[in-house]
Structure 1
Amino acid sequence: MSDSTPLPPVRLPSEAELARDALATPLLSRAARLARWAGPDTRVDSGGGLIEEQLAAAAEVLGLTGRSGEGGADAGAATDAEAADEAEAEAEAEASEAWRAAVDTGLVEVVDEDEGTVRAGDNLALLTSGAPAEVLHIWLDALDAAIADASVPDLDDLMDAMDEGGEIDFSTLDWDPQAEAEFLEGVLANLYLLTADERAPEGTPVPLPALAASVVVPSDVAEPTDAMMEEVSTAMMRLDDQFRILGPTGLADFRPVDESLLIEEGQAAPQAPEDEPEDLERYGVVRLTPLGLYGLRARLLDAGYAAPALGDLAGKGAEALLDGTAHYGPLAARAETEQWLARREPLAAARELLAAARGGDAGAPLRRLHCQQALSLVGSEAEPALREVLDDPELGGLARVWLAEHGAADIPAPSQELVFWLTVDTVAAQLAAEGNSAELVALVEGLAAQHSGFFDTAWRVDHPATAEVLEAMGRLHPDKRIAKEARKAAYKARSQQSG
């Protein structure tokens, strides 16, 4: 995905709702509790982490102790003592993560690095007295740190790579920090796109194998090779680990891979699923939360992407609305337009839309198409604005369409010149909106069939897109004779324009 790729708009809750969600996430709520717990006797190591002697107390503050029956070793393979030790280690690891989040987000500040003393950070007060945007900024810092942690090898791998002097020999790890970070960023970007796609039902979870395939299998490959499917399986297990790490951030609702699918030791991952759709959940599914959608959008914006949200254009002018919704899906375009109209009086809104729809630039036909769609949402109060432009060569056609659809009387018949100009403008808009779609092919066939001698007249139309439209009709029409007529007409139109 390049930073010039138009991203679909997303629907987000209010900042107040998102801030409440952020405060309720395990990561931020635990970090805040530890920041309030920390006092004069709290000590940290040189990296800002809690010293080992205080991890048990931190885990107890967070209510993480006493979970020996949860997620510990297999009851048939470990003693009660081993299970308790494992549960204690897990609790302390979670407490350590929460403390790091408190430091990373400024909820805790190191006062003296040599002494290892700390105090409450300035951001701690913002969690209770700050504006929603300030709370969300703190949560975003925690999310960034968690995403960075998810790209690092797990502790067992790091311990295996440690030399006798206690230093990690990164050359022994099969780990490229930049490639690993880019892999996870690509996965999160694709998850954002899949969530924002209005063609998918809202809240639809994404199977982990499909998410892995989206970054492993090239988009132009119809049938993945066995090697690709093996890579997808490996990537799926990487994502299973990474989403477990990201879980406490509130980024996504995640169901991990069913452990019963993990085959005998020596196999890195279960084979990519070929099951029925209802069995896909066994291979893990992930669904962005509204907070996660907000967080990934914020990261995309920071990276320079245009990542719109519904409502962004509501306070802007009509030209921004018509241009901004040019690449929205139909549902998103309607929702954005409804929010824009809700802030304006119908007659004033109609006049503003019509004024913005004028122009001879390349984007003007699509603006007029979106103007016509926007005006379809305005009631009869807008009629005076439409009658004012009946004689306008660029707007007279769409004004007549609107008046007719609203049952208005005394609509003057359009001239043949206006009919042909509107036809060229409509096809130009459809080309810009949809490219060579099946609907456009049907429109081209219908125009050529309905108007006898269409191309003899069409090439004379004084519209900036006349030649382009006729060339497209020659390319799209299935009848070779008619297609040839269209190409000849396009040549005449270009000659006329250059003359």
Structure 2
Amino acid sequence: MESADVSAMVADLSEWTERTRREPAVDLAEAANVLCLLSDELEVPDLGELRDGDLETLLLGVYPQVLAEEGEELEDPSTVVPTVHALLDFARDSHRIGEDAHASLSEELDAVEPLFLDALSGEGELDLKEAYGLPDRIGPIRLPPDSQLAAAARQCRTLERVRQLALRFASGADNDAAAMALALGVGEHELAALSALAEELAFLDVGDAGAVIAGPGLQEWPDGSDGEVLAVWRQAFNSTLAWSLLTDAEHAGESDLDFSGAGAWFVPLFLARHRGLPVPAVSEMIEELAGEELPEPRARQAWETWVAAHGDPADALLGRLAELGAVELDGEVVRATPLAAHAIRAELVESGVDVPLLPPVEEMTAADLIELGRDGLDGELEAEANAWFAARGPEAAADELLTVAAAGGPAERIIATRLVREELGAAAEAQWRGALDVPVLRRHAKLALAMLLGPAPEFENTDEDLGWLLVDSIAGSASGVPEEELPALLAAVFQPAGPDVVERLWRLDHPATHEVLTMLGTYHPDKGVAKAARKGAFRAADRATS
């Protein structure tokens, strides 16, 4: 809506509020914001063009999205719905809408109000960052472009069944459950789940006199824009994950097991997206979540009783997710599809976790590749490395990686030098020889050349050099590792013949010496090593200040 049109309508609204002595006073600034959003986001340039569903979309879709994009919060969300109510009353009094439309839209607004307030306050929503203890940034990851993801979503068997169900209802065809289930190729139990999903996605709507009619969601799948199609698929995914097993329990009359948190295993699946998770591990997680509030013997009995009567809930849920195109099953391993990864990434971003997307492989830098080694999800580095090296050729790839390693810290050096050694082998000999003249890479270069060409005096590292490499390795490997995982990591990385080895480390000129000794002294499980490291840390600190 043009600013002049908004100003004119707000002026009319202001005059109306004074004439009708509206109480409480209408927030005219918020009214202007609502009018702009209706026009710009929903293509409703005049209040007279409001239709059922528009206000729900405005408050549950547009408002949260616009606020998230602009990084803003409403000072007082409670003023929005009264403002919209005032606009509806104004539209009725100015003959833009009739009494029936006013009543219908007001009823819709009342139903949406608590959901709107919850959405903006965060109540009732799971904060994934907080729930899983995630850092501010993970990734980056590679996902197909939206056009490819939307094409995959349009092939979704579940959504096609839901669409056919909605069309049959809307056409007035024989809606007997048995006939409907037969036509869709599903059991009557699954038919109930599809019907619930059809209502959730607004593929079905209840019209006047309770008649079931086609809903506005049918316009968005499969023929909507890519963004609309992906939004529909994401809603179906979230609904299946959150409500599928709860619906099963309701139909079975199950009161002991609580499947309300049964979808919590999907974030770990996303974090292990290349390796995947064993199906038995998914089942164990669902069992633990479902019986969380029960004493252990009772929880186990309830689970075994359910499995005997209905089968493993994990099998049912994974089957539905596979039909939806959210998971792929490879024997006893389940992996998230790109569609599901796209949906979970969006949830993580909304909860405050930065999950950047990788650029095309031709545009990736060595720094991008090294970041995958530092912060990337399981298997992401291995999935990208071959294509990245192939796009550059061995010489350019080695030059880029070693340049970043020379300018970076221990983590960058450990990842970059490992990549050059393992991916390029003898093809990087010239680059390794050049690295002999770079102080922070010299010891790594000697080690790599000795592995390539065999022992030689020019490639021999002194005890001091080996100590320096050890500190580099520990500092680089421990970067970003959670505190609770450090004992196991340090035990694996640092296995000296005796405490005397750690005692010599304090003399090194490595900038991370004190940090590494402090870490060993605090977290190494070997008491002798930890004691020697603490003593060395004091000496290193004295040496740094003297």
Q: Is the shorter-chain TM-score for this pair beyond 0.5, marking a shared fold?
A: yes
Q: Which secondary structure state, in structure 2, belongs to the residue aligned with residue 391 of structure 1?
A: coil
1:67-466 paired onto structure 2 within 5 Å:
93=192, 96-97=195-196, 99-100=198-199, 103=202, 121=216, 124=219, 127=222, 135-150=229-244, 181=260, 183-190=261-268, 192=270, 196=273, 198=275, 204-206=278-280, 209-215=283-289, 225-230=296-301, 232-233=303-304, 239=313, 243=317, 246=320, 249-251=324-326, 287=334, 290=337, 293-294=340-341, 297-298=344-345, 300-304=347-351, 314=361, 315-326=363-374, 332-358=380-406, 364-376=409-421, 377-378=423-424, 380-407=426-453, 411=458, 418-432=465-479, 435-437=486-488, 440=491, 443-446=494-497, 448=498, 454=501, 457-466=504-513
Shift of 1:488: 2.8
Q: Give the helix-richer structure, 1 or 2.
A: 2
Shift of 1:416: 6.1
Partner of 1:274: none
Paired residue type of 2:486: G
Change (3 A) 1:134 1:423: same
Paired residue type of 1:387: R
Shift of 1:371: 0.9
CA distance in 1, matches of 2:288, 2:141: 20
Count of residues paired in the alignment: 400
Partner of 2:182: 64
Higher alpha-carbon deviation: 114-123 or 411-420: 114-123
Partner of 1:497: 544
Paired residue type of 2:297: D
* Contact 1:150–1:245 (8 Å) recurs in 2: no
Q: Which secondary structure state, in structure 2, belongs to the residue aligned with residue 435 of structure 1?
A: helix
Shift of 1:148: 4.8
Change (3 A) 1:209 1:445: same
CA distance in 2, matches of 1:441, 1:91: 50
Partner of 1:221: none
Encode CA deviations 1:241-290: one digit per residue, 9 max, x unaligned. Answer: 97399465344589xxxxxxxxxxxxxxxxxxxxxxxxxx9xxx994563
Q: Which secondary structure state, in structure 1, belongs to the residue aligned with residue 424 of structure 2?
A: coil
Unaligned runs of 5+ in 1: 44-52, 72-86, 161-172, 219-223, 255-280
Matching residue within 22, 28, 38 for 2:153: 22
Higher alpha-carbon deviation: 392-401 or 321-330: 321-330
Q: Which secondary structure state, in structure 2, belongs to the residue aligned with residue 462 of structure 1?
A: coil
Higher alpha-carbon deviation: 336-345 or 301-310: 301-310
Paired residue type of 2:234: L
CA distance in 1, matches of 2:199, 2:486: 50
Q: Which secondary structure state, in structure 2, belongs to the residue aligned with residue 394 of structure 1?
A: helix
Change (3 A) 1:312 1:321: same
CA distance in 2, matches of 1:456, 1:288: 46
Shift of 1:390: 1.7
Identity of aligned residues (%): 22
Q: Which secondary structure state, in structure 2, belongs to the residue aligned with residue 243 of structure 1?
A: helix
* Contact 2:436–2:446 (8 Å) recurs in 1: yes
Shift of 1:491: 1.5
Shift of 1:332: 4.4
CA distance in 2, matches of 1:423, 1:291: 39
Shift of 1:312: 6.8
Shift of 1:210: 1.3
Shift of 1:402: 2.6
Change (3 A) 1:437 1:98: closer
CA distance in 2, matches of 1:98, 1:217: 26
Encode CA deviations 1:83-134: one digit per residue, 9 max, x unaligned. Answer: xxxx6xx697466346436625xxx789x76896967858747636855x76
Paired residue type of 1:435: L
* Contact 1:252–1:286 (8 Å) recurs in 2: no
Q: Which secondary structure state, in structure 2, belongs to the residue aligned with residue 444 of structure 1?
A: coil
In the superposition, the TM-score normalised over structure 1's length comes to: 0.60
Shift of 1:493: 0.4
* Contact 1:444–1:476 (8 Å) recurs in 2: no
* Contact 1:424–1:469 (8 Å) recurs in 2: yes
Unaligned runs of 5+ in 2: 1-130
* Contact 1:251–1:292 (8 Å) recurs in 2: yes
* Contact 1:473–1:483 (8 Å) recurs in 2: yes
Higher alpha-carbon deviation: 119-128 or 365-374: 119-128
